[in-house]
Amino acid sequence: MQLSNSSQYAIRILAYMADNKDSKLLNATELAKTLYIPYKFLTKIMTELVKSGLVVSIRGRDGGYKFEKKTSEIMVSDILAIFNDSIKNEQCVLGIGFCNGLCKCALHDQWIEPKHLLQKMFQESSLEDIAGKGCKI
C-alpha cells in the first residue's frame, strides 16, 4: 500500500526544486547527492519529467533542470499520472475488475472515503503548496 519508488522520488525531487526555484539551474549530480537518490535512476526519472512537460532540461555544460510550468500549476496527481500511480475512481481495494454499486467488493463501502481523501490530497496539493514544507531527504 504505497507509491512506487519512481513516484516517491519524483515528488521529492520536484518539491526540492520548488524550494529552490529561484536559484540557478539544478543539475542531476546535485539533486542525487542532496536527496540521496541513485544518480542513474534520478536521471531516468528526470527524463520522464522532461518528456511529460513538467520540467525543461538544458543540455551541455552548465546545464540542468528547471520548471516548464508554474509550481502552482503542477499538482502531485500530475506527477503520479506520469508513473501510472494515479488512484482511479474505479480502483477496487480488493482488485476486483468492476467493483461498483451493482457488484461491489466486501470492502467497497469502507474504501470510498479513504480513497477520496487520497485523491483529494494528490489533486489539491500543488508544488507551490508543499514547497518549503518539511525536509526533503
Which stretches of the chain bind DNA, using CB under 7 A? 4-6, 9, 27-29, 38-41, 43-44, 46-47, 50-51, 57-65, 84
Report the run of H or E that residue 94 belongs to, with start and end.
none
Position 58 contacts its own copies (CB under 8 A)? no
> Whose CA is closest to 29, among 14, 15, 46?
46
Among DNA, its own copies, none, partner that 64 touches (CB below 5 to 8 angstroms by kind): DNA
Contact 65, 13 (CB under 8 A): no
Q: Amino acid letter at 113?
A: E
Among DNA, its own copies, none, partner that 50 touches (CB below 5 to 8 angstroms by kind): DNA
Q: Least separation, in Å, of the C-beta of 34 and DNA?
A: 13
Collapse the DSSP code of 26 into the 3-class scheme (helix H, G, I; strand E, B; otherwise coil) and give the result.
Answer: strand
Enter the C-alpha cell of residue 33. 547527492
Q: Least separation, in Å, of the C-beta of 111 and DNA?
A: 18
The smaller minimum CB distance to DNA, of residues 83 and 126, is found at 83
Position 21 contacts its own copies (CB under 8 A)? no
Contacts of 112 (CB under 8 A, 6+ apart): none
